[in-house]
Structure 1
Amino acid sequence: MRYLFALLALWALPAAAMGPWQRDCQLDVPCEVGARSYHVKEPDGWDGESPLPVLIHFHGWQRTGALPVQHQRISGATRRRGVLLIAPNGNRKTWNMWSPETEDVAFAHEVLEDVANRYPIDPENIFLSGYSYGSIMAWRVACDRGTQMNVRALLGISGTLNQQEDCAQAPQEVRHVHGLNDNVLDFPYGRDGDETYPVALWRSQFDCGTPTATRDWSAVDFLTLSRTEWDCAGDTKVALDIHPGGHFIPHGWIARQLDELLGRDPVYP
C-alpha cells in the first residue's frame, strides 16, 4: 500500500511546489529509473502545464521502448489525442510476467511514480497497453497493481495471461484485441470454439453476465473487427475485438480505444 499512498501524495502536490517539470528525456533519450529506463513521447501542442492522460505501453519481445514512441499505430494515436506515451525498457528486451509480483511489475509502478515527478499527469486517466509479450506484461501489471496504480483501462493486443489466473487487483475497464489467425500467440479459444474466451479472466473478475452489445467496426477498409461488450458489476466494463488477421497491431485500434475512453468522436488516424 505504500506505493498507493506515495503516488496519491505526489499527485496532490500543486505544480508550483514541484518546480519546473523535468522534461530532459524524450524519444531516443530515455529517462532513468535506478538502473533501468523508459522512453517518452509528448502529445502534439501540449502547453507544458495541463495534466496529461498517460498510456504506458510495453514493447514486444526483442524490442525496446524506443520503438513504441516512434510507431505510427501507437505514438501516432497518443500524440494526436493529448496523451503522454510512456514506453518502459524490458531487461534483455523481454518481460518477466508469468508469475505475480515480479521485478518488472515493481518497475512498472516505479516508472509511473517517476513520470509523475516529471510531468503533471491526470490520475483519473492512466492506461496500460502492450503488444504481444508486452500485452501479457500489461495484463500482469493490471492483475497485480491495477488498483494501486489507479489504472483506468487495460488495452491488450495479441497476448494474454492464462485465463485461470487469480488476480489480486484489476483495472477499471478491459479492452482486448486478438487475430483469429495469430500464429505467434495463438488465439485462445475456449471450450467448443468459444471466441469470447480471451477475456474470460476479466469477465470472471468483474462478475460479468451475458454480452450487452456486439457490432462490427473498422478504421481502414481492409480490416473489419467484431466487438463484443459486457457491462459488469460496479460499473466495470469488458470489450473484446476479434479480426480475421494475424499477429499485429490493427490500424486505428489504439486510437479508437483512447477516443472512446476520453469521450471523443472516434477518428482515424
Structure 2
Amino acid sequence: MKTVLLSLLCFCSMGCLKKKESTPANGSITVDGLIRTYTLHLPPNYREGSDFSLVIAMHGGGGNGGQFESSSRLSQKADAAKFIVVYPNGVKGDGLLKAQTWNAGGCCDYARDHNINDVKFISLLIDHLVAKYKINPKKVYATGHSNGGMMAYRLACELSDKIAAIAPNSSTMVVTQPCNASRAVPILHMHSVQDNNVPYAGGVGTGVSKHYNPPLDSVFQVWSLKNACATPAQVIVNNNSYKLTKWTDCSNNTTIQYYLTKDGGHAWPGGTPGGLPLGDKPSAVINANDLLWDFFQQYQLP
C-alpha cells in the first residue's frame, strides 16, 4: 500500500511540475536601475527536451506582455511547435494610462522621450534566459506588433550578434542612428493595406503616438543593401488575398519576405482584434504564428 501511495505521490508531483513549467511564469531583471519585467512560456515538453529556440515577442505601444500573449495566441503555437516564448514588457509611462512603450528610435512616447535603453534590456534578458533555461543561444528570434515590431528592427540593427532573425508586424523601422548590423539579418514582415495606424506607404498614422512612419519600400531597400541581396524584389504571389514579395540571393543565404494582406488592419494576423474588443480586425488570409515559426526555423546564428 505504501508503495502504491508513494508511486501516486511521485506521479502527481511530476505531473504538477510539468504543468507548472508549461504555464506562464513572471520574472524580472534590473537594468539601469529599473525593474524590467517579462512573462515566460515554456512548452509542455520542456522537462524532456533540450536545445530549445527562444522567440522574443514584443507587444505594441500601450499593450503589455500578458495582453500580447492573449491576443497573438503565440503560446499555443509554442506548445504545438515546442519552442520557448518570452513576452517582455515595455517601460511604463508617467501619464494617466501608464502606457507601456519601447524606445525603437523615433517611436514611441515615454520610452523614446526618456531614452530608455531597451536594446540593453533585451540583450540582458537573453543572457538571463539562456543561463537559466535550456535555450540554444544560436536560435534566438524577435517578433513584435506595431511599436514592438519597430523594436525588432532596432534589435536587428544593434543586436544582430544575438538575434538570428526577426518577424515584425504592422510596423516600420524608425531608428535614428545608422543601422550597423554586424551580419545579414533574415526579415519576415507582415502588414495590411488597411493599416491606418502604421501606413505601409508611410506618413503619420491615426494612432495616439503622432510620429512619422517611413514607407516600407524604403525600409526594405535599406535591408536589401545591408543583406547584399543579389536578386531584386520579386513578387511571388499577388492575388485577391495578399501580395508576397521576396528578396533572395542575399548574404549567408538570408532572405527578406514581405506579406501585404488585402484584409485586416492594425492587428496580429490570425489573432484577436488589435488585442482589444474594439480594435482592428486581424487578417484571416495569413497566420502570423505559422509564418514566423516556419521562417525562423530556417535560420540560426553562425
Superposition TM-score, scaled by structure 1 size: 0.75
**Secondary structure of the equivalent of 2:198?**
coil
Assess if the C-alpha contact under 8 Å between 2:185 and 2:254 holds in 1. yes
AA at the equivalent of 2:135: I
Superposition deviation, residue 44 in structure 1? 3.4
AA at the equivalent of 1:248: A
Using the alignment, how far apart are the partners of 1:76 and 1:24 within structure 2? 14
Superposition deviation, residue 189 in structure 1? 5.3
Query: Structure 1 residue 157 and structure 2 residue 174: aligned?
Result: no
Query: Structure 1 residue 233 and structure 2 residue 251: aligned?
Result: yes
Aligned pairs (5 A) from 1:196-211 = 196-211=217-232
Using the alignment, how far apart are the partners of 1:174 and 1:235 within structure 2? 12
CA RMSD of aligned residues (A): 2.9
Superposition deviation, residue 201 in structure 1? 2.2
Superposition TM-score, scaled by structure 2 size: 0.68
Percent of aligned pairs sharing the same letter: 22
AA at the equivalent of 2:180: A
Using the alignment, how far apart are the partners of 2:233 and 2:200 within structure 1? 23
AA at the equivalent of 2:187: V
Superposition deviation, residue 199 in structure 1? 2.0
Cα distance change of structure 1 residues 81 and 94 upon mapping to structure 2, 3 Å threshold: same
In the alignment, which residue of structure 2 is the partner of 1:33? Answer: 29
Gaps of at least 5 residues in structure 1 are 1-22, 264-269
Superposition deviation, residue 24 in structure 1? 7.8
Superposition deviation, residue 110 in structure 1? 0.8
AA at the equivalent of 2:29: V
Aligned pairs (5 A) from 1:116-195 = 116-147=130-161, 149=162, 151-162=163-174, 166-169=178-181, 172-188=185-201
Gaps of at least 5 residues in structure 2 are 1-19, 93-99, 107-111, 204-214, 271-286
Superposition deviation, residue 46 in structure 1? 3.0
Assess if the C-alpha contact under 8 Å between 1:30 and 1:37 holds in 2. yes
Using the alignment, how far apart are the partners of 2:158 and 2:232 within structure 1? 26
Assess if the C-alpha contact under 8 Å between 1:130 and 1:138 holds in 2. yes
In the alignment, which residue of structure 1 is the partner of 2:64? Answer: 64
AA at the equivalent of 2:156: A
Assess if the C-alpha contact under 8 Å between 1:41 and 1:69 holds in 2. no
In the alignment, which residue of structure 2 is the partner of 1:77? Answer: 77
Superposition deviation, residue 98 in structure 1? 0.9
Assess if the C-alpha contact under 8 Å between 2:21 and 2:42 holds in 1. no
AA at the equivalent of 1:120: K
Aligned length: 231
Superposition deviation, residue 40 in structure 1? 0.8
Using the alignment, how far apart are the partners of 2:120 and 2:22 within structure 1? 21
Superposition deviation, residue 163 in structure 1? 8.2
Assess if the C-alpha contact under 8 Å between 1:215 and 1:227 holds in 2. yes
Runs of 4+ in 1 over 6 A off after TM superposition: none
Superposition deviation, residue 254 in structure 1? 2.3
Aligned pairs (5 A) from 1:250-261 = 250-251=269-270, 252-261=287-296
AA at the equivalent of 1:47: R
Deviations 1:166-225 (A, max 9, x none): 2111563111111112111111359xxx9744422211211224446533399xxxx833
Cα distance change of structure 1 residues 254 and 196 upon mapping to structure 2, 3 Å threshold: farther
